[in-house]
Structure 1
């Protein structure tokens, strides 16, 4: 079981935790066929590679192998042209993914702010279903997205966009560079959020360029800040654990990933249980003047 830090528990009770859901959370969902699961990034790129065929793709294969995923994705997108949006829907929407138990227990953490880079709509569909649509869902492109920092209602923020708006997805090298310039104010808001809240990363990798830059800037601009927390497999090398703490102020909370990550799910249930006797967030409230 994960040994949850007391400081994280205090922040959770004070609703000062931002829950950050990565693709590893979506991976727990299953499509209507009872088999298909949402792809992780490398899985998605390899399936795109199969679709475009082998001719003239040796450099893309090399990029994927060397973990240069942003360029690989950009080149695949360019090759597919107008077929790119339908391919995205085929992978992230058409299977009809249903929420998993982990989505439910994460929402039971009962925090005001949930951030996710996931394109799919699995988490927000579940949340809107159980709340009657009272939770705000916003994209990084929304002009009033900054309001999530001050409003009392619960927010889900799609930091890389939503599959329903494929032109806005942050998925390639070009997308990342464009977003940093065109939506720099949003990244300022994320920076403020890192200062005012404790982040809990669940189901996340450590390769997101924008997130890494934000964390590294925060670590060295505010060296005495309390750490944020990354929930990860105990298989992560100790050197990497030390680097994450030293360079990004991320404290790793490790668990045994055997038996389909059962230990993670059980640990999250224990963490969520501390919110059982706390008054829920008033999701129906708007801006408090």
Structure 2
């Protein structure tokens, strides 16, 4: 990975063997016997401080900057990254984005239970800013398991419970390989598969990794374009995660499930709430009904049970499917979630809620702000009014797109999505029309109830009401199964609902 750094013309970050040869060139009468031997001989000849300085110079620590491969890699929301590189290219790239990393260099760093949405960067071999922790010489490698047993145990646990993907890594380091071997001996065939991503892999590379229990993923392309090939692969992996994570998750609430069943890129009514666990009961009781009255669908991270333990990837996937967000910035988690929202290429309409007396950072100057007192939300009518007003504004902004979406999806032959989009759009129109006469709080007023009330009030004819009752099972089938919908049935539902909608729309 470090080889993909951006450096001055004529310079290049050395590979491990290149580094060994550079140091060997400074030794007199030394027959080169491999990088590890050369680095060890250099440390013995000139002392460890000088060896660290020479390695830092050779690795262009101060000059090298992250390249395209680093940019693409760090855009993937991994929660844990392990590296044996001793430079700072990953830290610099994470620092250039809204995604931060937390380096783990010493064993005492493992005791810090950081629950924020960051990437834990496990630097197995330390770095040049921690000379005593560097693992570069024979003595360092030989003593690793004895000197850092907790790091070895932590790494072993990751290899037991996670699927390891090796990138730009040869699996030659004796300390890592020893841990990998122990895991294999103890678990046998139960050990998880590991993968290595290589560019234009040779047969000898595939065989060497296979001997060590690792499957090779060979990316097509020239090794001369290694950076471009890796960057493209990382970009594709990030897009795949963003597109498929929700589909592989379990959504616990019916209304968000319906919205998530729409294809990527379709307009939804989802409003993401980033709220601390302590405040969530108040929000669900007092604020969610206001969003629902406006025709939006509240969703929180707790409503989506995603595979694995990558909380940030789940949050990112939810945000990308939402049209708006409410962030109550009371915890480090919600502050970082706000940072993720602000860092999106297409920022959502966002309402930032802060406690009264909070000093806002300058980068929030252009955000819509609502101030909340420390008491119960139910006792703050001005705050609730501001929520209600904001939700209605968001709903009004997306209403034209929601009206066009069913026909667009029908034209794109997305028949399942067209049915879902049409019926959810009608639900929003019915709620708006009925709200003129009385408040309809909560999800108790689902589509079937709304349709019944609309029929009683004459907003729907009996024939339309009956058709809607016939169409709702089709929508339910789409949301809860993978069964297909015929073009004829989708056209019937979409055209029928569009006709009803023409009468119900306020400006019709």
Q: Does 1:27 align with 2:63?
A: no
1:242 CA displacement = 4.5
Mapping of residues 196-211 of structure 1, within 5 Å: 196-211=161-176
Q: Secondary structure at the match of 1:38?
A: coil
Q: Does 1:213 align with 2:178?
A: yes
Mapping of residues 269-284 of structure 1, within 5 Å: 269-276=235-242, 278-280=314-316, 284=332
- Aligned residue number for residue 231 of structure 1: 197
Q: Distance in 2 between matches of 1:235 and 1:196?
A: 27
CA RMSD in angstroms comes to 2.7
1:44 CA displacement = 0.8
Q: Does 1:102 align with 2:69?
A: yes
Q: Which has the higher contact order (CA 8 A, sep 6+)?
A: 1
Q: Does 1:250 align with 2:219?
A: no
Deviates more, 1:112-121 or 1:91-100: 91-100
- Aligned residue number for residue 111 of structure 1: 78
Q: Does 1:135 align with 2:104?
A: no
Q: Distance in 1 between matches of 2:194 and 2:237?
A: 16
Q: Secondary structure at the match of 2:197?
A: strand
Q: Distance in 2 between matches of 1:137 and 1:181?
A: 22
Distance of aligned partners of 1:166 and 1:254 in 2 relative to their CA distance in 1, 3 Å threshold: same
Matched pairs, number: 248
Mapping of residues 1-289 of structure 1, within 5 Å: 25-31=1-7, 33-52=8-27, 55-58=28-31, 61=32, 63-64=33-34, 69-81=35-47, 82-131=49-98, 134-139=100-105, 141-145=106-110, 153-222=118-187, 223-237=189-203, 241-242=206-207, 244-245=209-210, 247-258=211-222, 259-261=224-226, 262-276=228-242, 278-280=314-316, 284-285=332-333
Q: Flag structure 2 segments of 5+ consecutive residues without an equivalent.
A: 244-313, 318-330, 335-508
TM-score (norm 1): 0.76
> Would you say the 8 A contact 2:23–2:38 is kept in 1?
no
Q: Secondary structure at the match of 1:144?
A: helix
1:145 CA displacement = 2.1
1:211 CA displacement = 1.5
Q: Distance in 2 between matches of 1:157 and 1:285?
A: 21
Distance of aligned partners of 1:193 and 1:147 in 2 relative to their CA distance in 1, 3 Å threshold: farther
1:150 CA displacement = 7.6
Q: Flag structure 1 segments of 5+ consecutive residues without an equivalent.
A: 1-24
